[in-house]
């Protein structure tokens, strides 16, 4: 009997590296990394990350790394997706959420499981098409994707309970602060070389800003392509 070399084995849905067991190992690691929100962990366990990644890289889908998705962009590492979602949720059910930087749609799919309605903007058209396909496969029917520069948010749909930016901004855009509901939260990486994840909460009379941790995101760019 000819033996298959491990390198010739291709991961198929539900088998090997892409199986539920592999995802459970990812959940164990996320807990070790400090993620506590069971709603977020359950969404991370439910959404298969490998379908968002090219087949050649899918054996690495559940490693805690960001991976290329084409067009010089990346899919965020599972830890950062879980962490940003946990901060955004703050232990509460979210109604309307805006995401800026859909990419391949992985974070969007996680958001669709923790919020009633998700609007997401992406400036690169082929990525919008890719993300739409993935979100349709996963029946994320409460998501609306648009091909647009999201730097200024989406004022016609404001206010939002949560705004999550998944590309690094040079500063916190004023327009996004104005689009938060009272009690709403903005989670955004800020900085050019050294970046820090920021949380801005809109309270009745003021905005409260907290620096969370060092992160590494692709830059938030203007215009569409
Ligand atoms: N949320 C993704 C991460 C995508 S990487 C995930 O789950 O993995 C960040 C994305 O932000 C890229 O696809 C990039 O094209 C997009 N982006 C950068 N600037 C943008 C802008 N001004 N408006 C909308 N999308 C933007």
Residues in contact with ligand 1 by the CB-under-6-Å rule are 73-76, 81, 100-101, 103-104, 106-107, 121-124, 127, 149-151, 166-167, 218, 220-222
Residue 16: the pLDDT is 55
For residue 165, how far is its CA from the centre of ligand 1 (angstroms)? Answer: 8
In words, the CATH class of domain 13-215 is: alpha beta
Cα 204 to averaged position of ligand 1 atoms, centre (Å): 30
Tally of CB atoms within 10 A around 92? 13
Tens of pLDDT along the chain (225 residues) come to 444 443 333 344 544 556 788 999 999 999 999 999 999 999 999 999 999 999 999 889 999 999 999 999 999 999 999 999 999 999 999 999 999 999 999 999 999 999 999 999 999 999 999 999 999 999 999 999 999 999 999 999 999 999 999 999 999 999 999 999 999 999 999 999 899 999 999 999 999 999 999 999 999 999 999
Contact 99, 164 (CB under 8 A): yes
Segments making up each domain of the chain, as ranges: 13-215
Give SS3 for 112.
helix
Q: Which atom of ligand 1 is nearest to the CA of 149?
A: 23
Residues acting as catalytic residues: 76
């Amino acid at each position: 009997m000819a033996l298959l070399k491990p390198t010739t084995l291709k991961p198929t849905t539900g088998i090997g590296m892409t199986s539920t067991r592999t995802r459970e190992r990812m959940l164990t690691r996320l807990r070790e990394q400090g993620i506590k929100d069971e709603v977020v962990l359950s969404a991370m366990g439910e959404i298969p990350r490998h379908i968002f990644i090219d087949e050649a890289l899918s054996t690495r889908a559940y490693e805690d790394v960001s991976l290329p998705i084409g067009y010089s962009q990346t899919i965020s590492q599972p830890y950062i997706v879980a962490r940003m979602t946990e901060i955004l949720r703050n232990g509460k059910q979210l109604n309307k959420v805006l995401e800026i930087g859909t990419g391949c749609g992985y974070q969007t799919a996680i958001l669709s499981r923790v919020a009633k309605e998700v609007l997401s903007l992406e400036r690169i058209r082929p990525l919008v098409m890719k993300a739409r396909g993935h979100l349709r496969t996963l029946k994320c029917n409460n998501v609306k994707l648009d091909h647009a520069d999201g730097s200024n948010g989406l004022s016609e749909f404001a206010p939002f309970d949560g705004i999550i930016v998944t590309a690094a901004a040079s500063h916190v855009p004023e327009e996004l602060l104005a689009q938060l509901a009272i009690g709403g939260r903005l989670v955004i990486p800020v900085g050019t070389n050294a970046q820090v994840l920021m949380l801005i909460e809109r309270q009745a009379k003021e905005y409260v800003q907290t620096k969370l941790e060092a992160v590494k995101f692709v830059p938030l760019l203007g215009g569409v392509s």
